[in-house]
Amino acid sequence: MADALDTIPPELTRLMDNVVITIEEDPPEPGLLGLYEGIPLTERGEGYAGVLPDRILIYWREICAICETPEEVVEEVRITVVHEIAHHFGIDDARLHELGWG
């Protein structure tokens, strides 16, 4: 998983604010590879202060279940993390699908 996280473009990670990425075993619902929990940057106002970090959760069992090789796992984690980072930036699923990151 660390190999995959190392492939995230630094220009994305530099722009992230108050967010942590964690690896979890199982998702709250089957088939979910990742989840963004928090307040997107586009929705933060002047009153945004002193809050716990947003979280990007990556569910390794679900990812491993759909991948056949370690290389596929790295690629799927990278895609999933970028997808969830996009939510941090306020990009919704419809737009992500248009961009090919669905």
List the domains of the chain with CATH numbers.
10-38+52-99 (3.30.2010.20)
Rounded CA-CA distance 82/58 in Å is 11
According to DSSP, residue 33 is labeled: -
Q: What is the pTM of this model?
A: 0.88
pLDDT digits (tens, 9 = 90+) for 35-76: 999 999 999 988 888 899 999 999 999 999 999 999 999 999
Distance of CA 100 to the CA centre of its chain: 15
Handedness of CA 94, 99, 100, 102 (dihedral sign): negative
pLDDT digits (tens, 9 = 90+) for 1-33: 677 888 888 888 888 989 999 999 999 999 999
